[in-house]
Structure 1
Amino acid sequence: MATLPLKAKNTLSESSDVFETGKYEVNTTTVRTTHPSAPPVEVFRVTPLTEGTYPVLLFCHGFMLASTWYTNLLKHIASHGYIVVAPQFYGFVPISNPEEVERAAQVTQWLSTGLPLVLPEKVNPDILNLALSGHSRGGKTAFALALGRLDQKQKSPIRDNPSLPKFKALIGIDPVEGTSLSDRPPPQILKYIPRCFNMSVPVAVIGTGYGNQWAGPLIHPCAPDGLNHSEFFNESKPPACYFLTKEYGHCDMLDDNWIVNTSRVVCKSGTGRRDLMRKSVGGIVVAFLKTYLGGDEKDLDAIVNDPSVAPIILDPVIYVKE
């Protein structure tokens, strides 16, 4: 086991450059369902090693992707003083979106009792400071969970379950509703009515400039217009932030390995350095979490006021506070 650094006083308002690796050494592990903590699904956990209590981010992976393929992005976030929990909802055989939302709800319930059992010694989760995020279809899952909806006919919304911790922030990373306007599997989140989402959670949406483009003559966009980031932001109530990574594609925030590179044949990729994309997405997430979990608006305001502080082009950047 790694030697723990000296105890840190982790106040989220400490000054830091959110686009650079944070000050905390981090550790990753995969928690199987056979572990004594009994997670409902396999969980990829990323955490600081320094003794202390940290906010928690629940992260939902994209369609036919693995939680571990986001390792560099999630390590960046964790290095700034956050515990990241990324469930693996399915293997090679995808499940329905309602089942995915249900499993995400089960993991949320597990956090209070199970997460402390899989953390390093003297590292504790602050479940009262809980945020939710997801990429692609996982972004839709995150919105559905925050809205408390499994499907159109559900009579008892999951958000009314008293055993579920409450989310204080929601971040969609290139969220996608479906493959086309005629193919929107349940739960159908988008209503095409501005500011209609019935939730009070602060929202950040990070979109990609190439997500709506065809990857080839017969390969449809991974994040089609009318079903992607811009509509999710349009239907989110204030406070809500929007960041468009103008020169990057739908999977460019994932790790670089041969499996992920294969996915970029299906989803059009940008030409810029992907490590800068990961730093930028990670930095935006950290700045948003610092604002709405820690009460420190400095970094988020800096990005909104001058998007050129990011390592990549963010255009447009919109922040609607009320």
Structure 2
Amino acid sequence: MSSAQPALTTSVFNLANCPFKCITEEASLSSCFDSSAPPKPLFIVTPTVAGTYPVILLHHGCCLRNYFYKELLQHIVSHGFIAVAPQLLLCGVFLPPGSVEVEWGAKVINWLPKGLQPLLPENVVADFTKFALSGHSRGRNTAFAIALGRAKTSLSLKISVLIGIDPVAGATRNILTYSPQSFDLSIPVTVIGTGLGPESKNPCMPPCAPDGANHKEFFYECKPPCAHFVVKDYGHMDMLDDDPQGMVGAVSGCMCKNGTGPRELMRKTVGGIVVAFLNAYLNGDDRYLVAIVGDPDSSPAKLEPVEFIRA
């Protein structure tokens, strides 16, 4: 390994120099009739410097809020991307089936090509020829289901890459087949898992990412090119902000087993992996991805040996 490689790897794990700002856009009650209004509330992190930027859409986990991912999204955007996180559903008396989230996720994607640009700063242009779809936890169902064609999306917007952040299969509409490389996908996929996700917080609660339905199975069913990263000493919610707001934020910290280290290290690790993957498959620069695969110990949080299957 060259002496320059560790510095190269480290750079994606830290905030870069692209300035950004956060935008909250509420859905309009008249969004069914007003095509300019988003169909669901959006949390957007965008560069403020003029330029053309790839877009990443992140679907939140079960019952979580889109702004709980603020620091993770800021990390990604600082490296020259536009991030959009829709609020698809809020938990009430009962949790709607995953099919509802998939349909709403598709509506957001169909709205993006024309609806996002007017919300961005002047001279900041969204490049939808480079579009990444991602999801955390239950949000993986939305992301993977849409990528697999389970909902009708605009022909004008094609998904370039798919990212699963500690994905977990649901009890209903489970997209897993338990057969190797069975996902009918022709795009690069990366799966980021957690070492503590399969462990219970306490004996009275099931694990948040149980074996047989977590990141291992999702990667097992992906076709090349695909990559699998596992952050060994962190849990299912540790990529969220340190103190998510409100009752939902408080509950999110109690449901899953958490790592003992600072969440900042987890966010840097996940953010760096996402940036490296996006640079490789959206911007044609695989130096960062190759460096992390070759030296997992360069990560802020400890990684298991990385599995990377090229096309």
The answer to whether residue 167 in structure 2 is matched with residue 167 in structure 1 is: no
Q: Which residue of 1 aligns with 2:221?
A: 235
Structure-2-length-normalised TM-score: 0.91
> What runs of 5+ residues in structure 1 fail to find an aligned partner?
1-13, 151-157, 179-183
Per the TM alignment, residue 32 of structure 1 is displaced from its structure 2 partner at its CA by: 0.9
Q: Which residue of 1 aligns with 2:287?
A: 298
Of 16, 19, 23, 1:22 maps to 16
Distance in 2 separating the partners of 1:20 and 1:162? 35
Q: Which residue of 2 aligns with 1:256?
A: 242
Distance in 1 separating the partners of 2:236 and 2:250? 12
Distance in 2 separating the partners of 1:194 and 1:278? 30
Amino acid at match of 1:99: V
Q: Which residue of 1 aligns with 2:88?
A: 89
Q: Which residue of 2 aligns with 1:10?
A: none
Counterparts of 1:156-235 in structure 2, within 5 Å, are: 158=152, 161-163=154-156, 165-178=157-170, 184-186=171-173, 188-235=174-221
Distance in 1 separating the partners of 2:238 and 2:296? 19
Distance in 1 separating the partners of 2:264 and 2:188? 27
Distance in 2 separating the partners of 1:148 and 1:258? 33
The answer to whether residue 67 in structure 2 is matched with residue 68 in structure 1 is: yes
Instruction: Tell me, yes or no, if the aligned pair for 2:21 and 2:47 is still in contact at 8 Å.
Output: yes
Root-mean-square deviation (CA), in Å?
Answer: 1.6
Instruction: Tell me, yes or no, if the aligned pair for 1:46 and 1:85 is still in contact at 8 Å.
Output: yes
Q: Which residue of 2 aligns with 1:43?
A: 42
* Count of residue correspondences: 294
Q: Which one is further off, 63-72 or 264-273?
A: 264-273
Partner SS, residue 314 of structure 1? coil
Amino acid at match of 1:212: P
Distance in 2 separating the partners of 1:272 and 1:51? 37
Distance in 2 separating the partners of 1:31 and 1:128? 23
Distance in 2 separating the partners of 1:129 and 1:202? 12
The answer to whether residue 284 in structure 2 is matched with residue 319 in structure 1 is: no
1:124-164 CA distance string (max 9 Å, x none) = 100111011110000121111111115xxxxxxx26x524x
Distance in 2 separating the partners of 1:15 and 1:245? 16
Q: Which residue of 1 aligns with 2:147?
A: 146
Mark the CA change 1:291 to 1:122 in structure 2 (over 3 Å): closer, same or farther.
same
Amino acid at match of 2:155: P
Runs of 4+ in 1 over 4 A off after TM superposition: none
Per the TM alignment, residue 264 of structure 1 is displaced from its structure 2 partner at its CA by: 2.3
Amino acid at match of 1:148: G
Q: Which residue of 2 aligns with 1:122?
A: 123
Q: Which residue of 1 aligns with 2:25?
A: 31
Q: Which one is further off, 298-307 or 264-273?
A: 264-273
Structure-1-length-normalised TM-score: 0.88
Instruction: Tell me, yes or no, if the aligned pair for 1:16 and 1:22 is still in contact at 8 Å.
Output: no
Mark the CA change 1:71 to 1:258 in structure 2 (over 3 Å): closer, same or farther.
closer
Mark the CA change 1:247 to 1:15 in structure 2 (over 3 Å): closer, same or farther.
closer
Distance in 1 separating the partners of 2:120 and 2:9? 26
Partner SS, residue 133 of structure 1? strand
